[in-house]
Structure 1
Amino acid sequence: MAKRIFPRTASAFVRRFAGLAGGYWAGWDRWSVWLLAAALLTLTVAQVSVPVMMNLWSQRLFDALEQRAMDRLPVMAAAASGILLFNIAVTVAHLWVKRRLQFGWRAWLTRRLVGAWVSDGREQALPSRPGDHDNPDGRIAEDVRIVTELAIDLGHSLTYCLLLLVSFASILWQLSGVVPVTLGGVSLAVPGHLLLLALAFAAAGTTAAIAVARPLVRAAERRQGLEADFRFGLARVRENASVIARQRGEAVERGRMSLLFDGVRHGWERQTGALVRVMAFGASYSVLSTVFPILVVAPRYVAGTITLGVMMQTAQAFQQAVAALSWPIDNLATVAQWTASVERVQGLKTALDGIIPLPPVKAPAPGFLSDGGNTARKR
């Protein structure tokens, strides 16, 4: 049975994740970690400033084109070059800081799990423990990577979208002005109608996308488990190669591998079908989000109440606000993958914590067996 995106309540899931991986942020090098996090946040703010600057640049460019003011074009080209260079610098710095933070977190969690697994006889006792903890090497090598990398990626993208929404909601509110609406003979002044339309458009799109993408979430989780089973089967053959060769069990193992890979194929095909539906919806939604704001604003341009630059600025601001509000649509499958990996790593950690350590082996005194036991016999 497929897991939900959050198998338990969100608060309980967050607490379990913090208990699993939160120690990285409170360790001995926490100051350098938090310094990297602060740099990442600062660079994210700088990233958000780029589309805001491009929005203002677009308004001035189209106004200049409408007025056929050729003397402004060199200034606009110089401004675009400055924005381009700024964007390159911010993007490169952001990537470097993010990847350093991601790998540091992965290294910390990997050391913690390897230390808990290969110590006090736990590596020997783990296979006999009940629970979801199969394929510990795969969980440490792959799931830990997914847990730490996607946690940073999701946190960054959510922060970026929230900042983007705040920035362009303000722009949309200013561009909307006050529109008179008559209802039942009563005239009402409605401010911020473009922002309200963006919110309604994004809410409708998000609702539809969640309904369309729900099978993709289940298919992604199922495929991830089947891929892990196949990797575990391959590792089992590698570890038992000598036994298989002595017993002439190659045909049996090939059959087992074939069955496991058939499961991988089934999971792949199921995920492909779900992806087709999601991609079809995404393609339609992207076109609508481009066309809809222009159709909404075009009557004001035709009436002469706004300039061409304001119309294009409004359309771009609408698209940016909708894109920010579409974060759940864009990251639903990623959240599902991340959650599944968190559960797999947590299952391994829980199993290891439940193993009673073997008593320490007392090392023999120096020289006790170095002379074939003569020292002991003399005593």
Structure 2
Amino acid sequence: MTTGRDWGNELQASIVWVLWVSAVCFVAMVVVCFLLVKFTKWGQQFWRVAGNFFTERESAPLTWTLIIVLLIYSIFAVRLNVLFTYQSLDMYNSLQAGSAILDKSKGDGLSLAERIEPARTAFWTSLKIFGVLATIYILRGMSEWWIGAAFDIRMRAWLTSHISQDWLGERAFYRNRFIEVKGTSGETTMGPDNPDQRIEEDIENLVYWTHQFVFGRGGGASGVIPAAVTMITFTGMLWGLSGPLDIFGYKLGHAMVFLLMMFIFVATVVAVWLGRPLIRLTFLKFRLSANFRFGLVRVRENAENIALYSGEQVEQRNLMALFRAVVKNYWAITYRQIMFNGWNWGVGQVSNILPWVIQAGRFFTGQVTLGQLSQTAGAFGNLSDSLSFFRDMYDDFARWRASIIRLDGLQKADKEARELPVIATVDGPDEVVLEKVTVDKPNGELLIKDLSLKLVPGDALVVKGGSGTGKTTLFRALSGLWPYCTGTFIRPGGTDTLFLSQVPYLPLTDLRAVLTYPAPPSGFSDDELKQMLVDVSLPHLVDRLGEDQDWSKVLSPGEQQRIAFARVLLSKPKVVFLDEASSALDEGLEYSLYHLVRTRLPETILLSISHRPATEQHHTKELVLRGKGAWELSDIPAKV
């Protein structure tokens, strides 16, 4: 019996075909990507987020090597699918031939076994070929999965590193709260919402679906490249298998190809129309889910305060309000997906039976064999899958698109945050100089106007004033956080200038690293750290240096502030800004800690915000902020 392929020479032919088609697809992929980046909004957004991953000297060589390998694997999968249809052709033709022999009442002098032997041999040969193809298919899929995972991990690691670095760079993670961000529905918020979710979940979605859309997974036509190659390859096969069909008295040649194209075109247009709102709804889903999760985290982080206020019912109402927004969005997505998926399921069921219906007339008139009918169904299915790619993947494309919008929005807000005004800061000698520093509120209301002063080593300035006069805002402006300010700030550079907030930051690590933060603990011996804990009245912690805890929950506010004073004494800065840094301490502890700093670091310049009159005794100058730009600077008489 004749076979659909010359299986003895198929290996060489397939290698040549895969390499040639891969080369063509690589050139086409580069050209199409260039056009998408040049002329589409989402292509430009993707390139802004991930473009450097493909072009940087450090990452590009291995990245493009993995891309080429994945490309070859996806083309190889298409070739295997083609060969499976020819194996099916041979198998069903052998069965049809065997059936025809069994139906004959008379032979040609040969026994039934002799007459049916060629068909039997052809059948078992086709099954052997199937075994070889199936083994190759499985090995190809397993190795492709590993290479794909290597590509995904590499891309995700690069994006996470660069986007988090961009977010943290030049304090954009704080200053982007002053940037107006417009959502997909036109609403405006201050700063990008939930940057943690964008850096974790949206990057994961972006990487996974980028791989999926371009190369697919599992050997099907689920990626752009295998879908395009499948469409071209199986169109030619189906063209040869399909015949004319009478439609309302008109004979349409190669009817199956044209009917399939029309069928999928209509199905795709309707699917895109049904699925288009999913992009906006999915973007909203990410934001609402993150808001609800953040609300839960806030309850956990503030459990003690909530319990003391007996605020459980209030928090429950607030959480359920956030959750109701999640549910409302969920139902909106569900209604849209019901229509979208229902349409796709219907199209899929029709696709399963359509080739058999079209070819049935030709089969029963003997124009095609059973093997050709089976091959037609296989070719039709592959071609239908490839043409249905965008229809089937629109829901996933909506998730990918939403992630792109969110990541691009985060980077855009970070970029604009770095471009916000900042006070002119100059690294100078061991002194602090403020020259015509003016600080405003975001609405333009004046807080401090033309503040000028000079502090030399050993000076200590206490800043006072009523609520809302700009004390903390002044410190934020001098630290580079507050954008609504002008003037010049001269101070020692680098780690020689230290800012301490009212609530110290305690990282999730061992107490040793908490105590030396942000300096590495390797620069200090355990004996030094233990003695420092004793000096700041925390002797009960000396044996817990190696413990990993959420220390912000373990330590009281007063203990946390003592940790902050320990950091000052360990780092020995030339200038320290203290924003209500002793507010949780009693006057006795406050006195001993300030005295410790002034004794051990006599040349360090102190600038403190405080409401306590007792704090004055540790300072040499006083700055009183009067509001609306007014201020007074005076010396504090030394107590005898």
Residues 209 and 368 of structure 1, relative CA distance in 2, 3 Å threshold: closer
Q: 1:165 aligns with which of 207, 211, 231?
A: 231
Amino acid across the alignment from 2:122:
R
> Quick check: 2:288–2:326 contact (8 Å CA) kept in 1?
yes
Per the alignment, do residues 116 and 300 of structure 1 end up closer, same or farther by CA in structure 2, a change over 3 Å counting?
Answer: same
Matched-pair contact (CA < 8 Å) for 1:110–1:140: yes
1:89 to 136, 139, 152: 139
Per the alignment, do residues 297 and 368 of structure 1 end up closer, same or farther by CA in structure 2, a change over 3 Å counting?
A: closer
3-state secondary structure, aligned to 1:57: helix
The match for 1:4 is none
Equivalent positions of 1:296-335 (< 5 A) are 296-335=358-397
In 1, the alpha carbon distance for the partners of 2:367 and 2:349 equals 26
Q: Which has the higher strand share?
A: 2
Question: Is the CA contact 1:43–1:93 (under 8 Å) kept in the aligned structure 2?
Answer: no
Q: Does 1:127 align with 2:173?
A: no
Which residue does 1:338 correspond to in 2?
400
The separation in 2 between residues aligned to 1:140 and 1:376, in whole angstroms, is 40
Measure, in 2, the Cα distance between the counterparts of 1:9 and 1:25.
16
Tell me how far 1:275 sits from its aligned partner: 2.5
The answer to whether the aligner puts 1:372 opposite 2:600 as a matched pair is: yes
Q: Does 1:108 align with 2:158?
A: yes
1:47 maps to amino acid: A
Q: Hey, what does 2:124 align to over in structure 1?
A: 74
> 2:198 is matched with which residue?
139
- Measured after TM superposition, the shift of residue 305 of structure 1 is 1.5
State the match for 2:503 in structure 1: none
Unaligned stretches of 5+ residues in structure 2: 1-36, 99-118, 183-191, 216-222, 423-478, 481-491, 498-570, 575-596, 606-640
**RMSD of aligned Cα (Å):** 2.9
Correspondences of 1:189-208 after superposition (within 5 Å):
191-208=253-270
**Under a length normalisation based on structure 2, what TM-score does the superposition of the two structures give?**
0.53
- Provide the rounded CA distance (Å) in 2 between the counterparts of 1:311 and 1:170: 16
Relative to structure 1, the CA distance from residue 367 to residue 216 in structure 2 (aligned partners, 3 Å threshold; closer, same or farther) is closer
Residue of structure 1 equivalent to 2:416: 354
C-alpha distance 235-278 of structure 1, shift in aligned 2 (>3 A): same
Question: CA 1:121–1:215 in 2, change beyond 3 Å: closer, same or farther?
Answer: closer
Give, in angstroms, the shift of residue 165 of structure 1. Answer: 0.7
1:150 corresponds, among 209, 214, 219, to 209
Change (3 A) 1:146 1:202: same
My pick for the range that moved more, 125-134 or 105-114, is 125-134
Letter in 1 for 2:600: G
**Aligned partners of 1:312, 1:241: CA distance in 2, in Å?**
66
- Please tell me whether residue 23 in structure 1 is matched to residue 52 in structure 2: yes
The change in CA–CA distance for 1:260 and 1:9 in structure 2 (over 3 A counts) is farther
Partner in structure 1 of residue 336 of structure 2: 274
- Farther off after superposition, 229-238 or 97-106: 229-238
- Quote how far apart the aligned CAs of 1:344 are: 0.8
Taking the aligned partners of 2:130 and 2:314, their CA distance within structure 1 comes to 65
Counterparts in 2 of 1:112 and 1:243: CA distance versus 1, 3 Å: farther
- Give the distance between the partners of 2:134 and 2:363, measured in 1 at CA: 30
Indicate if the aligned counterparts of 1:172 and 1:314 stay in contact, CA closer than 8 A: yes
Task: Name the aligned partner's letter for residue 25 of structure 1.
Answer: F
Tell me: CA distance 1:131–1:241, structure 2 relative to 1, closer, same or farther (3 Å): farther
Could you say if the C-alpha distance between residues 74 and 241 of structure 1 is closer, same or farther in structure 2, counting changes exceeding 3 Å? same
Q: CA deviation at 1:196?
A: 1.6
Deviates more, 1:321-330 or 1:128-137: 128-137
**Identity across matched positions, percent:** 25
Q: Distance in 2 between matches of 1:334 and 1:35?
A: 27
Deviation at 1:288, TM superposition (A): 0.9
Per the alignment, in what secondary structure is the counterpart of residue 363 of structure 1? Answer: helix
SS at match of 1:131: strand
| In structure 2, distance between residues paired with 1:376 and 1:224 | 48
Cα deviation for residue 312 of structure 1 reads 1.6
| 1:224 pairs with one of 254, 273, 286 | 286
Change (3 A) 1:201 1:304: same
- Unmatched runs of 5 consecutive residues or more in structure 1: 1-7
Structure 1 residues 216 and 139: CA distance shift in structure 2, 3 A: closer
Give the Cα separation in 1 of the matches to 2:267 and 2:173.
Answer: 48
What is the letter of the counterpart of residue 362 of structure 1?
G
Residue 71 of structure 2 corresponds to residue 41 of structure 1: yes
What is the deviation of 1:80? 1.0
- TM-score scaled by length of structure 1: 0.87
Is the CA contact (8 Å cut-off) linking 1:158 and 1:327 kept in structure 2? yes
Instruction: Kindly tell me the number of residue pairs found equivalent between the two proteins.
Output: 366
